[in-house]
Structure 1
């Protein structure tokens, strides 16, 4: 399945969230990761992320596309993807 995960977390947890998401998905834009992932990997990723964040102040959004044939993606501007700028 194709997954998009967006987040808004306290600056103290941004690097931890980025590192964890990088293990599973591709960084495409500030606070946005996406890519193909199995259901098992997705459940593991969610569990690990939810242990990092503080649900009282942070947020995670999960967009799951069961059939990627129904997804059309376009973009304008500079393409992101270099995680080294965060670390």
Structure 2
């Protein structure tokens, strides 16, 4: 399955630590494309594990995570305007 994951973590208090942990979890499974946005192919079981790990890290009263799911990347039209982060061809 192909997913786009976006998150908004409140950085006040212990929020920066939560933000860092969620970032690392996402980076292990998906491609970082923008500050708090990740995308990529992931199996159902790996996505289930990722969702569970993220749920343990966030504060549900201040943080949010949204995961958009598609069967395949080819069903999405993507248009990047400006700098594309984590471009493997950029030095």
TM-score normalised per structure 2: 0.84
If you compute each CA radius of gyration, which structure gives the higher value, 1 or 2?
A: 2
Any stretches of 5+ residues in structure 1 without a counterpart? 83-87
Establish whether residue 6 from structure 1 lines up as the match of residue 6 from structure 2. Answer: yes
Deviation at 1:4, TM superposition (A): 0.5
Deviation at 1:68, TM superposition (A): 2.7
Cα distance in 1 for residues equivalent to 2:20 and 2:73? 29
For residue 52 of structure 1, what is the aligned residue in structure 2?
57
Deviation at 1:72, TM superposition (A): 1.2
Cα distance in 2 for residues equivalent to 1:67 and 1:23? 20
TM-score normalised per structure 1: 0.88
Aligned-residue Cα RMSD (Å) equals: 1.3
Deviation at 1:10, TM superposition (A): 1.9
Secondary structure of 2:29's counterpart equals coil
- Greater than 4 Å deviation, 4+ residue runs: none
Cα distance in 2 for residues equivalent to 1:49 and 1:42? 10
Any stretches of 5+ residues in structure 2 without a counterpart? none
Choose from 35, 52, 70 the match for 2:75. Answer: 70
Cα distance in 2 for residues equivalent to 1:48 and 1:81? 23
Establish whether residue 80 from structure 1 lines up as the match of residue 74 from structure 2. Answer: no
Choose from 26, 34, 52 the match for 1:29. Answer: 34
Deviation at 1:81, TM superposition (A): 1.8
